[in-house]
């Protein structure tokens, strides 16, 4: 490779491999300003005279942030697109906190893009990882966009986030439950062990889909409790199967119909309340700047806006009145009498 100073303005940013190449750029820029750029970037010259970055996207961003006009670069002559891509991939994998989703997308491109179309075995040999490592990353892309956005590289369990182990605990769960379960786990900061238990519940044939949807409206510990019941049921089955049968027995041991019961048989009013609570977001004070944005509402829409507020307030007040009445009834139980039967 030939080393030379190339103009910053000739680098084509659209060729940078990952979207998060700007992470912690300020800190890197500070280091470069103090001790200089220790390692040149690697680029390939394009037919239009511009340059494509192969290695060193973050270094390039940091130097640009320092308002430098030129940057030291090694000029690569390689024409092998796969080799270039693998070099970029390897560099990104060395970064701290490299997003598991970004890594998964790079693997996915290598396996599906007609330019590369490489096998997982080929990639594993090139990057020094086993095939299982690549397969696990690709599993993350089976989650929806909302879940992918909260998957992070840390090992800790963080609020409203999922680490890789948490997410992969749900990989065998059907798609109709997987994302809802993942988002619920993130909001409740569920452990990996409890997520594995939840996965067993949602892959179990002992529960129908309606029961599984019901569980989604309940706290996560109810899902874990259901797992405990399923495990007890399994042990009971095995114990019955292993029990020796007496040759002279005149009666067969009786057992109940084999079905799973949810942790608690919820009444209609309980299910209604839990459903209502889950559909209403937690209250957060509205910032004054948001409130006063009403000034930008066109005059012809302002009346409609006020009608919407009236409708919301009326609806909430109706809920309050009704549920306060229910609360009073529950606190002081009374029995309704059918007056039609009275003479």
DSSP state, 252? P
Decide if pLDDT at 319 tops 70.
yes
DSSP state, 11? B
In this prediction, residue 333 carries a pLDDT of 54
Sign of the dihedral defined by the CA atoms of residues 127, 109, 94, 163, in that order: negative
- Burial label, 184 (beta-carbon count in 10 A; 0-12, 13-18, 19+): buried
Higher pLDDT, 342 or 293: 293
Give helix 220-242 / helix 175-188 axis angle, nearest 10°.
120
In this prediction, residue 247 carries a pLDDT of 46
Distances (CA, A) of 227 to 166, 185, 213, 328: 17, 15, 15, 35
- In this prediction, residues 196-207 reach a mean pLDDT of 93
In this prediction, residue 10 carries a pLDDT of 94
Q: What is the mean pLDDT of the chain?
A: 83
In this prediction, residue 246 carries a pLDDT of 46
Distances (CA, A) of 96 to 23, 93, 153, 206, 320: 10, 8, 9, 43, 50
Q: What is the Cα–Cα distance from 268 to 323, expressed in whole angstroms?
A: 14
Assign 240 a pLDDT band (cuts: 50, 70, 90): confident
- In this prediction, residues 47-55 reach a mean pLDDT of 90
Contact 41, 61 (CB under 8 A): no
Decide if pLDDT at 21 tops 60.
no
Contact 81, 50 (CB under 8 A): no
132 CB-side CA count, 13 A: 1
In this prediction, residue 334 carries a pLDDT of 45
As a dihedral over the C-alpha atoms of residue 53, residue 19, residue 121, residue 126, rounded to 10 degrees, the angle is: 30
Paired sense of beta strands 70-76 and 41-45, if any: parallel
Pick from 116-130, 163-177, 203-217, 276-290: least confident? 276-290
Contact 97, 23 (CB under 8 A): yes
Assign 108 a pLDDT band (cuts: 50, 70, 90): very high
In this prediction, residue 290 carries a pLDDT of 82
Assign 18 a pLDDT band (cuts: 50, 70, 90): low
In this prediction, residue 133 carries a pLDDT of 94
* pLDDT > 70 in the chain, percent: 85
Decide if pLDDT at 343 tops 60.
no
pLDDT tens per residue, range 257-302: 455 555 555 677 887 887 777 777 777 778 777 887 888 888 888 8
Higher pLDDT, 5 or 89: 5
Decide if pLDDT at 252 tops 50.
no
- In this prediction, residues 34-51 reach a mean pLDDT of 90
Query: Cβ contacts of residue 164 below 8 Å, gap of 6+?
Result: 100, 136, 140, 151, 153
């Amino acid at each position: 490779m030939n080393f030379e100073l190339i103009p910053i303005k000739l680098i084509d940013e659209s060729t940078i491999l990952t979207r998060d190449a700007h992470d912690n750029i300020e800190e890197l820029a500070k280091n470069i300003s103090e001790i200089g750029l220790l390692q040149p970037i690697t680029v390939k010259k394009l037919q239009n005279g511009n340059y494509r970055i192969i290695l060193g996207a973050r270094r390039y961003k940091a130097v640009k942030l320092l308002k430098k006009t030129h940057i030291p670069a090694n000029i690569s002559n390689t024409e092998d697109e796969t080799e270039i891509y693998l070099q970029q991939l390897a560099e990104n994998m060395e970064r701290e906190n490299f997003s598991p989703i970004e890594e998964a997308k790079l693997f996915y491109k290598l396996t599906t893009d007609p330019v590369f179309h490489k096998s997982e075995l080929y990639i594993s040999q090139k990057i020094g990882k086993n095939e299982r490592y690549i397969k696990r990353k690709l599993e993350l892309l089976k989650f929806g966009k909302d879940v992918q956005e909260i998957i992070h590289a840390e090992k800790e369990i963080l609020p409203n986030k999922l680490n890789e182990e948490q997410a992969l605990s749900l990989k065998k769960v059907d798609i109709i439950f997987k994302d809802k379960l993942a988002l619920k786990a993130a909001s409740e900061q569920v452990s990996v062990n409890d997520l594995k238990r939840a996965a067993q519940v949602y892959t179990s044939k002992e529960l129908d889909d309606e029961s599984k949807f019901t569980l989604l409206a309940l706290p996560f510990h109810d899902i874990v409790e259901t797992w405990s019941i399923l495990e007890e049921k399994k042990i009971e089955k095995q114990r019955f199967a292993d029990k020796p049968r007496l040759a002279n027995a005149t009666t067969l041991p009786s057992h109940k119909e084999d079905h799973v019961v949810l942790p608690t048989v919820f009444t209609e009013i309980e299910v209604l309340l839990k459903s209502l609570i889950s559909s209403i977001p937690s209250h957060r004070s509205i910032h004054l700047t948001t409130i006063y944005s009403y000034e930008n509402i066109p005059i012809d829409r302002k009346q409609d806006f006020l009608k919407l507020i009236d409708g919301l307030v009326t609806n909430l007040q109706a809920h309050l009145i009704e549920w306060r009445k229910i609360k009073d009834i529950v606190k002081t139980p009374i029995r309704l009498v059918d007056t039609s039967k009275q003479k």
